[in-house]
Amino acid sequence: MGIDGILNIFKPKGMSSFRVVYEIKKILKVKKVGHTGTLDPNASGILLICLGQATKIARFITDFKKYYQGEMILGITTDSQDSEGRITGKKDVNGSIDREKIKYVFRKYTGVVQQTPPMYSAIYHNGKRLYKLARKGIEVKRNLKTINIYQLSLLRYIPSKNPVIQFEVICSKGTYVRTLCDDIGKDLGCGAYMSGLTRTKVGSYDISESIRLEELENNIELAQEKLIKIDEILSHFGQITIKHELEDRVLNGAFISREDFLCFPESEKISNCKMVKVKNEHGKILSIAERTEDARKNIIFKPVRVFQYDK
């Protein structure tokens, strides 16, 4: 099946992101498939899957804001920071936590914050995945990562021996929500682990529009019906149209100057855009290019991705 675009897929709990990619390849018989941001196996929710030429734009999609609804249990910590790990500590909460204290700590974790990636993660250390080292009981020093928590909201607080916090978080790429739960637990003075997580939205794409793998398997036509075009998902990029005679040159990765534009007025519309979609006269995307300038202050676009479609 020749298909170029993005599918909004629902990843069930217990399945890895890699497995979802494998299943999509098998169902649709597509060679080039990739995801746009790993979702932990014990989490569920939206996974944007790139097909065909769309695999070339995955890095632009990973920058989209991520929306999650999660749950954490107070008074218990685990080595993986979630329900899959070994319990490493227990502490009586004894009614010392209330909604106001939680909201106060939540405010501390809103904005630009630094986070230490967990040992149970896929990050490489000297050529080895951290989680493989963690399984052997090895812990290594990890560099701090800067992330952005755009919003962190308390949805529900359930008091008990081990109170439950249900929350919503909107964050940047690279955020470990289970580490966020662990850090919040430390600040609350009782410890915590993430007991559940669902990614509900990526950018403007919502979980309510997600396709389940079994639905796709039963009706592969859904792939075409629900396909998100490259043009649509990069609608926030600028756009230029080049002259017909330059099309082959663009497909070979050539730089594009304002003299190459089909209509000069278009250059005014995109003068402040960092990234643009380069199209031919028929509206087909030929490449993604980055804005730069030469010594004469001419607007020039440097190609960063070139598309080669099936004939």
* Contact between 277 and 233 (Cβ < 8 Å): no
Q: Which residues contact 302 (CB under 8 A, 6 or more apart)?
A: 255, 289, 290, 291, 292
What residues does 158 pair with on adjacent strands?
Answer: 164
Structure tokens at 307: 């598309």
**What is the distance between the alpha carbons of residues 293 and 270, in angstroms, rounded to a whole number?**
13
Q: Which amino acid is at 230?
A: I
Q: Check: CB of residue 110 under 8 Å from CB of residue 131.
A: no
Query: 187 catalytic, yes or no?
Result: no
DSSP-assigned letters across all residues of 201-232:
EETTEEGGGPEEHHHHHH-TTHHHHSPBPHHH
Q: Which residue has the tokens 């490449």?
A: 287
Cβ-contact 81, 181 below 8 angstroms: yes
Query: In whole angstroms, what is the distance from residue 41 CA to residue 31 CA?
Result: 23
Confirm if 43 and 199 have CB atoms less than 8 A apart: yes
Set 4, 40, 82, 182: catalytic member: 40
Residues annotated as catalytic (active site), given as ranges: 40
